[in-house]
Chain A
Amino acid sequence: MNGNPSLHLWLIPLLPFAGFLVNGLLGRYLPQRVVTAIALFFTAAPLVKVAQIALSFGSLNLPYVERFDVPWMATSAFRADFAFLLDPLTLIMLLVVTGVGFLIHLYSAGYMAHEEGYWRYFAYLNLFMFFMLTLVLAENFLLMFVGWEGVGLASYLLIGFYLVRDSAADAGKKAFVLNRIGDFGFLIAMFLMIAHFGSLSYHQVFGAIVHHPEMQGGFLTAIALLLVLGATGKSAQIPLYVWLPDAMEGPTPVSALIHAATMVTAGIYMVVRSHALFDRSPFALGVIAIIGAATALFAATVGMVQTDIKRVLAYSTISQLGYMFLACGAAAYSAAIFHLVTHAFFKGLLFLAAGSVIHALGGEQDMRVMGGLRKTIPITFWTMSAGVFAISGLPPFSGFFSKDAILYQAFLSPTAGPILWFVGLVTALLTAFYMFRLWYLTFFGESRAPHGTHPHESPWVMLVPLILLAVLAVSGGWVGIPQALGGGDQFAHFLEPVVNVAAAPQAAAAGSENQERLFSGISVVMALIGVFLADLLYRRKPGMADTLVERARGVYQLLLNKYWIDQLYNAVLVAPLLFLSRYLLWGAIDRGVITGGTSIAAGGVRGLGALVQRVQSGNIRSYAGWLAVGAAAVILITYFGFSMHL
């Protein structure tokens, strides 16, 4: 294709799948070292392949499509292929997934070393890698959907990894069900695409849109909104975000990989990939922006008061995903991907470091009994600090550049730009606040841990990924320094061929470089305010936090209970559904109609059998009687049959 040598892209997803098969089928019988080696090998191999592709990227004719000769589905009306696509966007996603994925696999070897079901964990993790890579490499929506659903499955399996915990199993189910609701939207969108474009291949769908400039709104909006529904499910936005905090029941590396760096970003990836579609529907873009901004602010407010270290990070993830959504809504696609990449670095880092803290304290996750860990687990402290600084948007860390890009583009966006920018700004303040709150509570002050706990540093297997991710969290943003601040913005240039194919009908108002510098300054100031507040409440005057809580007790309760959203969903949606299922579907229809129906049929047969049984009486005369009437019948039929036919 395109005169390129075959890159064998299919190896990239299938190597982890092979790892899944080996560990899944044989892992039970293999020693732990072998399981680890297998899992790491089948994750490192695709990373090597991706690195190889990245190095030779300049010499390739793009986009590169690898298609298999045997079609997947081929009917007269519709055709789908197993086909992989490689372009700049894919390459970035591949690097993130394989890179961060490999580091997390490595970390898990240490973190999960004493867990029951070690082999199962790695099997599921490899399975996840397979599906995520399929999703990213797919050349059409159908194959992407396979990956989409598959990562949902892997997420369910991994959230519920601790089989014996009811809460884990419930969390897994919740995640899966909410994902399914999103998947429903995705499916209907795909059906509409087939109806209007006759194909699900990116090339054909986007090509059709680009070549027909008159296609605007209408059904495109419908498709776009349904895709957004799918994205809100996968990327934990309002209204389908409630599964993500509960998903913290899974092991911490799972939270890092799936619920921070990769799976939840699938929604963002899908929106960016389909930007040609979204650009034609300003309404959908507006919806995305509003959802993103609202979710970012909402989650940040809840994250402020959480006491479980992982919950804070979960709400933080939801909030940061909101930023990415906001960027997509402002048609700033490369900014969204930029933040996706930096977020993968620092959020992955934060989760892994939190895992290190939890590991050090022997399983404790409540920040109220932490403190003073700065001295006892220094490496974890320094790496986590890098993550905290990055997410708070302080220069020159990576988060600053990506967040700024988003905020600035949001301001310029045609739909309520300044309002969105302001919401984003407030959220940045809150982000800095709650992250530094976490930082201070965990690492500073006197240790509030119960007597006898001896926090110890994690093994090198866990520390090396932390260090590497910390380096990336610090420096990862330097490829996207905007020109206003003296950089070359290589990131946006790299993605240009992908995201600028169909120009948005309303071009975003062009800003000036001075304006950009001003906005960057404002966001830094906001972040510093947040840092200052956290420092005040949690380091210098600890009692003040409690007084504030007392004074604003109603608000505090509202935030602590996550705005009672879970309870609302439960009462309005879940309970009626359960009632309906239990009494109507199970009780009336399943037991009554189906079981009852078959019982009646069976009873009928039994009754009929009993009736016929009475013929076998053993009495010769009754047999003779039946014989006589049988003979008469035969004669009748033969004679009259003959005479009628002849």
Chain B
Amino acid sequence: MYLVLFIFFAGLCVAGALNLLFQRHPINSALSLIVVMSSLAVLYLLLGAEFLAAAQVIVYAGAIMVLFTFVIMLLNAGKEELTHGSRAAYIVGVPGVAILVSVLSFIFLSARTHLAQARLGDYVVSTSDLSKVLFRDLLLPFEVTSILILIAILGAVALASKEH
């Protein structure tokens, strides 16, 4: 059961990612990305990260992707033009990616025996566990990130506003 869930949602992730790659219109890519993120939320749940799964849906799929969608609609982005600005990207980039994925897979698969097996329910992190660490041991980074968000808001407003 667990395995079936994993395979299904993993497949959904990959499919969504590939769809992002192959679609020409950015809005389609954005929607595919939402699919990927939702699937990832399920996978987090399978790994016992309740809070993160919720945060993933709310923050990523619900806020960030919505923002993306707004911008796409605002700028009226259309189908992609097929310009060929760089050959280096294809010639060195694609082999690079191929090497990347193959090496990483190789590493992880060959270390398979050293790694654990995931079972549902073996390790569940409750929100209270998370918050205990967050608000006690890591209070300073937490506050800093809130300032970071504040700065980001100001930056975004400053950058995007029309000059008068």
Contacts and interface: CB of A to CB of B under 8 A. Distances in A.
B103 interface: yes
A626 B88 contact: yes
Given A629-B95, A629-B96, A636 B103 contact: yes
Contacts of A632: 96-97, 99-100, 103
Contacts of B133: none
A615 B86 CA distance: 10
Interface string A615-645: 1010101101110111110011001000000
Contacts of B89: 619, 621-622, 624-625
Contact of B100 (A621, A624, A626, A628): A628
A615 B88 CA distance: 9
B100 A625 contact: no
Interface in B90-112: 90-97, 99-100, 103-104, 107
A639 B91 CA distance: 24
Nearest to A635: B103
A629 B107 CA distance: 18
B88 A622 contact: yes
Contacts of A626: 88, 92-93
A56 B100 CA distance: 99
Contacts of B121: none
A625 B88 contact: yes
Interface in B56-96: 85-96
A617 B88 CA distance: 10
A628 B96 contact: yes
A631 B103 CA distance: 11
Nearest to B85: A619
B86 A617 contact: yes
B93 A625 contact: yes
A622 B86 contact: yes
A621 B103 contact: no
B86 A639 contact: no
Nearest to A629: B96
A368 B86 CA distance: 92
A424 B88 CA distance: 94
Contacts of B92: 625-626, 628-629
A555 B89 CA distance: 93
A126 B73 CA distance: 97
A355 B89 CA distance: 89
Contact of B103 (A617, A619, A624, A639): A639
A624 B91 CA distance: 12
Nearest to B90: A625
State the majority secondary structure of interface residues on B: helix
B91 to A, nearest CB: 7
Contacts of A639: 103, 107
Contacts of A624: 89, 93
Contacts of A619: 85-86, 88-89
B119 to A, nearest CB: 29
Given A635-B103, A636-B103, A639-B103, A628 B97 contact: yes
A617 B86 CA distance: 9
Contacts of B100: 628, 631-632, 635
A617 B89 CA distance: 12
B99 A636 contact: yes
A631 B96 contact: yes
Contacts of B95: 629
Contacts of A617: 86, 88
B41 to A, nearest CB: 27
A638 to B, nearest CB: 10
A622 to B, nearest CB: 4
Interface string B8-47: 0000000000000000000000000000000000000000
B103 A629 contact: no
B96 A621 contact: no
Given A617-B86, A619-B86, A621-B86, A628 B103 contact: no
Interface string A592-635: 00000000000000000000000101010110111011111001
Q: Give the interface centre of A615, A617, A624, A629 by most chain B CB atoms within 10 Å.
A: A629
A479 to B, nearest CB: 98
A632 B101 CA distance: 9
A635 B108 CA distance: 13
Contacts of B90: 625
B89 to A, nearest CB: 4
Contacts of B94: 625
A622 B91 CA distance: 9
A627 to B, nearest CB: 8
B114 to A, nearest CB: 13
B100 to A, nearest CB: 5
Q: Which of A617, A628, A636 has the most CB of B within 10 A?
A: A628
A167 B137 CA distance: 95
A629 B100 CA distance: 8
A628 B107 contact: no
A626 B93 CA distance: 6
Nearest to A640: B103
A621 to B, nearest CB: 4
A640 to B, nearest CB: 9
Given A635-B104, A636-B99, A636-B103, A629 B93 contact: yes
The CB with the most chain B CB atoms within 10 A, among A621, A630, A631, is that of A621
Contacts of A629: 92-93, 95-96, 99
A621 B104 CA distance: 23
B29 to A, nearest CB: 16
Given A619-B85, A632-B96, A625 B91 contact: yes
Contacts of A625: 86, 88-94, 96
Interface of A: 615, 617, 619, 621-622, 624-626, 628-632, 635-636, 639
Give 10 nearest A-B pairs by CB, closest first: A625-B93, A629-B96, A628-B96, A622-B88, A622-B86, A625-B89, A621-B89, A632-B99, A619-B86, A621-B86
15 contacts: A617-B86, A617-B88, A621-B86, A622-B86, A625-B88, A625-B93, A625-B94, A626-B88, A628-B92, A628-B93, A628-B96, A628-B100, A630-B96, A632-B100, A636-B99
Given A621-B85, A629-B95, A632-B100, 7 more contacts: A615-B88, A625-B96, A626-B88, A628-B100, A629-B93, A632-B97, A635-B103
